[in-house]
Amino acid sequence: MILLAYGREAPTVTELLKLAVKGDVLTPRGALHAGIARLATELGVPSTAEPVPAEELPARLEEAPLIVSVTEQLPEDGRSGGHLIILRGCESGPNPTVHFRDPSSWGQTHDHAPLSRLSASYTGRAITFAPLNNGDLR
């Protein structure tokens, strides 16, 4: 999805998995943030794995999508996990609504949540991308 947002050709899932294995992106515990960022950069979308405080997410989403690490289904009990979702936009307000794409079965019927709910399970780690300008890198 990220590659397509930037007007890049997206490899098939199988091709992406092969690239991820070859590039040591995948570990027994899951995908490495730095590895995903490196792979995205190699595929033409400059990216970085970095800490991003939850309160900065809405401002960051004004320029580009993000991949963030959360606990699946965004529980509000303080657990934070390594489930990756794409943040794709935000509606402003006192408790901004964050729009996301989640590959899990829960994500098939859930595509937004208040920032406070997302923050409760967010690890503070994100994969950030170059500013998006109608599919062109600035």
Q: What is the pLDDT of residues 8-21, one digit of tens each?
A: 998 999 999 899 88
Q: What is the CATH number of the domain that holds 98?
A: 3.90.70.10
Domain count, the chain: 1
| Confidence (pLDDT) at 51 | 97
Instruction: Tell me if 106 is assigned to some domain.
Output: yes
pLDDT bin (cut points 50, 70, 90) of residue 132 is: confident
Instruction: Tell me if 47 is assigned to some domain.
Output: yes
Cβ pair 67, 83 in contact under 8 A: no
Instruction: Tell me if 138 is assigned to some domain.
Output: no
Instruction: Tell me if 104 is assigned to some domain.
Output: yes
- The dihedral of CA 103, 108, 112, 118: what is its sign? negative
Q: Phi and psi of 32, rounded to 5°? A: -85, 130
Q: Which domain holds residue 93?
A: 2-133
Query: 82-114, pLDDT tens digit by residue?
Result: 899 999 999 999 999 999 999 889 989 999 999
pTM: 0.89
